[in-house]
């Protein structure tokens, strides 16, 4: 016997690594000392040490069952970009900018072409954020994953000056929530979306659905939007009191994570531009509106909290950066 006969193809793994080399190296900046290829990547902290009191901010996450849509569509680059952007938004909630990113791709059987497509998406997203993709792992585990199954995860390390880290304790009643439009489902709620759209409603991945506004596969694979560059620019001009990345749990569970005791969020739900895909899922699944807002972002990808006096400037600056911001609601005292 040999390793290949047990289900693991070393040659396929090596082929995948050879394919991704150029894309990965294009993400490198001057801080990368040693990247993909070694037992560990090396990143210089020369710029970080010039900060007065730098704090490292880390996050790790995955793209969940969105990989099922990628597999059905045969399109893998978007889920590669998804995990980079998702992680960038998570560290952004602390006011941090990305330093570097590492990925993990696991599957029942390595397909060099599939891995290359995923990494191409990751690399482009990393390049857009000036965040080197300096290392990762590709694992072939036929006994763990069913045939055709894959999983994608990533880890991002960022940095923020201690004095500029978002201080949620400063949030108080009267502060205003600014919503930033999402690009769609992002990377959350796909288990419910797939069950409703494909099992209950009987749609196919390549169906054109008028109510959703396009081909179902394309809509479901829209890249999880990164707000990093826009909001980091905003932080240079405005004192932002809070940032909430609206992921699993929606507005109902993510915004309360940044609020001090005694404060709650009061939303103007009528202000939200809910994309058609959410309305379709709600209708076909006969899902209560409350449950929709607890599972999905419903069109709100990020929430920024600022003082009332900074609202107009915040909206203007975000619009200049290409975002679609609006006043989502206010922070009020509990019981009001």
Residues 109 and 232 reside in one and the same domain: no
Residue 103's SS3 state is strand
- For residue 71, the Cα-to-chain-centroid distance in whole angstroms is 19
8-state DSSP, 260: P
pLDDT digits (tens, 9 = 90+) for 116-168: 999 999 999 999 999 999 988 888 888 888 888 899 999 999 999 999 999 99
Whether 105 and 9 have beta carbons less than 8 Å apart is answered as no
Domain boundary among 164, 179, 195: 164
Residues 158 and 185 reside in one and the same domain: no
Residues 160 and 42 reside in one and the same domain: yes
Residues 210 and 150 reside in one and the same domain: no
190-217: b (≥16 Cβ within 10 Å) or e: bebbbebbbeebebebeeebeebeeebb
Residues 197 and 308 reside in one and the same domain: yes
User: Is residue 15 pLDDT above 80, yes or no?
Assistant: no
Q: How confident is the model at residue 195 (pLDDT cuts 50, 70, 90)?
A: very high
Residues 174 and 144 reside in one and the same domain: no
User: Is residue 11 pLDDT above 60, yes or no?
Assistant: no
Q: How confident is the model at residue 2 (pLDDT cuts 50, 70, 90)?
A: very low
Domain boundary among 131, 148, 164: 164
Averaged confidence pLDDT in the chain: 92
User: Is residue 12 pLDDT above 70, yes or no?
Assistant: no
User: Is residue 189 pLDDT above 80, yes or no?
Assistant: yes
Residues 191 and 272 reside in one and the same domain: yes
Phi, psi (degrees; rounded to nearest 5) at 255: -65, -45
> pLDDT at position 110, please?
84
Question: Domains in the chain: how many in total?
Answer: 2
Residues 145 and 266 reside in one and the same domain: no
Name the percent of the chain lying above pLDDT 70: 92
| CA-to-CA dists, residue 272 to 112, 199, 297, angstroms | 42, 28, 11
Q: How confident is the model at residue 17 (pLDDT cuts 50, 70, 90)?
A: low
Range of the domain at 149: 4-164
Least reliable range by pLDDT among 8-12, 19-23, 325-329: 8-12
Domain boundary among 115, 136, 164: 164
Residues 231 and 118 reside in one and the same domain: no
Residues 123 and 33 reside in one and the same domain: yes
Residues 91 and 160 reside in one and the same domain: yes
pTM, 2 dp = 0.92
Average pLDDT, integer, range 248-268: 95
> pLDDT at position 234, please?
98
d(Cα 219, Cα 213) in Å, to the nearest integer?
8
Tokens for 131, please give them: 């965040």
User: Is residue 5 pLDDT above 70, yes or no?
Assistant: no
């Amino acid at each position: 016997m040999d390793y290949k006969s047990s289900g693991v193809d070393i040659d396929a793994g090596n082929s995948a690594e050879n394919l991704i080399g150029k894309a990965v190296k294009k993400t490198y900046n001057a801080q990368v000392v040693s990247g993909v290829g070694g037992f560990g990547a090396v990143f210089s902290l020369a710029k970080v040490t010039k900060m007065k009191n730098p704090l490292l901010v880390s996050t790790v996450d995955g793209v969940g069952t969105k990989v099922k849509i990628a597999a059905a569509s045969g399109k893998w680059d978007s889920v590669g970009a998804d995990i980079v952007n998702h992680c960038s938004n998570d560290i952004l909630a602390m006011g941090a900018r990305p330093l570097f990113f590492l990925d993990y791709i696991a599957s029942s059987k390595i397909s060099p072409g599939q891995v290359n497509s995923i990494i191409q998406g990751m690399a482009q997203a990393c390049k857009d954020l000036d965040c080197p993709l300096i290392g990762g792992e590709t694992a072939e585990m036929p006994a763990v994953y069913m045939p055709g199954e894959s999983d994608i995860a990533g880890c991002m390390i960022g940095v923020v000056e201690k004095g500029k880290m978002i201080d949620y304790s400063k949030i108080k009643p009267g502060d205003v929530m600014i919503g930033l439009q999402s690009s769609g489902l992002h990377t959350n709620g796909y288990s419910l979306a797939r069950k409703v759209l494909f099992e209950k409603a009987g749609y196919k991945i390549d169906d054109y659905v008028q109510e959703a506004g396009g081909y179902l596969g394309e809509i479901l694979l829209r890249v999880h939007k990164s707000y990093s560059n826009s909001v980091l620019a905003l932080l240079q001009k405005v004192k932002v009191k809070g940032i909430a990345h609206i992921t699993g749990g929606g507005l109902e569970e993510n915004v309360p994570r940044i609020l001090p005791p005694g404060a709650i969020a009061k939303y103007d739900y009528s202000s939200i531009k809910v994309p058609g895909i959410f309305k379709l899922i709600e209708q076909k699944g006969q899902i209560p509106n409350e449950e929709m807002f607890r599972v999905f972002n419903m069109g709100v990808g990020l929430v920024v909290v600022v003082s009332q006096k900074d609202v107009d400037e915040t909206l203007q600056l975000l619009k200049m950066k290409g975002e679609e911001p609006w006043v989502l609601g206010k922070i009020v005292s509990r019981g009001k």
